[in-house]
Amino acid sequence: MANVQLILLQASGTNNYFQFGFIALMIGVFYFFMIRPQQKKAKEQETFRSSLKPGDSVQTIGGLHAKVASVESDGTVILIVDRIRMKFEKSAIQGLSTKAE
């Protein structure tokens, strides 16, 4: 009877290590496939927004294509058509555009 209990205890101990290893593996996979790429993309976006300069053709997150007229500390003024200017937050600028004239 004692031998049977000892074997059961050893098997359950191995199962606990396997469960812990599986959870650690899942956390690692989640980090490398979900969290790390998002952090990298956010860093690239921040670098892009900080490097904006007047004359750049940009696209906003709303789909508006325009040119940067000036960059200020609290936002970016973009030129839509000849004299029409609009002020956007820097976070509203999605990326460079090839469609702005």
Give mean pLDDT, residues 11-27: 81
Please choose, from the candidates 55, 51, 64, the residue with its C-alpha nearest in 3D space to the C-alpha of residue 94: 64
Cβ-contact 49, 93 below 8 angstroms: yes
Which range in 3-7, 15-19, 25-29, 81-85 is most confidently predicted, on average pLDDT? 25-29
So where are the chain's domains? 1-51, 53-96
Please choose, from the candidates 49, 62, 99, the residue with its C-alpha nearest in 3D space to the C-alpha of residue 86: 62
pTM above 0.75, yes or no: no
Beta bridge partners of 60: 93
With a pLDDT cut of 90, the percent of the chain lying above it is 50
Radius of gyration over every alpha carbon of the chain, rounded to an integer in angstroms: 27
pLDDT band at 6 (very low <50, low <70, confident <90, very high): very low
Structure tokens at 73: 């500390």
Q: What is the pLDDT of residues 57-69, one digit of tens each?
A: 999 999 899 999 9
Write the CATH number of the domain with boundaries 53-96: 2.30.30
pLDDT of 101 higher than 90: no
Q: Which H/E stretch holds residue 68? A: strand 65-71
